[in-house]
Amino acid sequence: MTLVPDFDKYADGLVPTIVVDDKTKQVLMLAYMNAKSYQLSLETNQTWFWSRSRQELWHKGETSGNTQEIVAIQIDCDEDTLLVHVDPAGPACHTGHTSCFYRDIKTRSVGGK
């Protein structure tokens, strides 16, 4: 059985895609794939997404050189979210940070207080 994301589940056809560093397990970014970017990712073994702001396909690292080589792709139980394990060639965030999740809003202090 071949699992395929349910792109039709969302009106815009975009499936949330969580990208994680395969070695460190750090969450690098959240992006969105449509059927075309998903297919390109499978074919090229690098991450492709749909840019909601630019309304176009986006090859991660195309301009920065910070590409993401795909190690594995997992799908959730509802087949509407992807988890992509990658070997990154540089920072994931356009700010230059390793991960897009580098700012804390709340953290638990020592002792749980």
Binding residues: 76-78, 80, 93, 100
Q: For residue 15, which of 70, 82, 74, 68 has the smallest C-alpha distance?
A: 82
* Spatial contact of 71 and 87, defined as CB atoms under 8 Å apart: yes
Which residues are known binding-site members for Mg(2+)?
76, 78, 80
Which residues are known binding-site members for Zn(2+)?
77, 93, 100
Residues paired with 73 in a beta bridge:
84
DSSP 12: T
